[in-house]
Structure 1
């Protein structure tokens, strides 16, 4: 038997063996699969609880555009809705409503604050955020995205929400 004939027989055999062995090997899970498994494993707390209010229900309670400002929908998911506040096509603030059943620790900042806005417990969140807690459940927040948008602007915009309507969601 000559060397050329052996190579012609051996090459396809080895290639077939390689394909067979590699197709049976298990691939290590990606980091995303590992994170998903860890977050949904036994005793893991779900990111969004079943009783969380649907984000679309919050939409009608956001302030309306006017006085040179445009209120533009940005994000909506279960337990959360967010709008951008624009002035002259520039983002000046972000308006949001979130259901704190997904993050119960979010309510803690309101307990230590003696401040109220429109009769609801209020708290500053960092140097550019102001929020109120409605019905001991819903966090309504305004965050500045531009230095010209002050704390008094944030407080005024919080009062433009239909907070009584949000309270009725409970």
Structure 2
């Protein structure tokens, strides 16, 4: 998916073009559903989160700012936040899906289909193992900072630093 193509569809959606919105849905829904399903672990809840996210996209398409990131990233954040809301509301998180203490940090699954997945994977692999684990648990599994503290038995400040520094490193790596 090209960002320019998604931007054109989102811009038309902002003007109320239902056909463009349909095309936007067709091009992005599978990836967004996969993210929601991975976070929620429940198909019905993932479908609900996806539907809610697309309603938000429809209503807020005009608020998208290209200077803050790609269209797909914007849409992923909407789905992610809606999924997190559902986790908190329904308490549907399944602890057995979390990375086990005995799991190898280098083997964390990276299977979200981004536009440039190979570059993302390369950048993630360059992170320190602690940063990679903290980001994985926070962004792919939906844990809050406080849940991360409990899960990996590390102080809150350390967890926040790992995430902040890891995201900064990812940003630098992805913009090269």
TM interval, shorter chain, is under 0.3
Using CA pairs below 8 Å that are at least 6 residues apart, which structure has the higher relative contact order?
2
Greater radius of gyration (CA):
1
Q: Which has the higher strand share?
A: 1
TM-score, with structure 1 as normaliser: 0.28
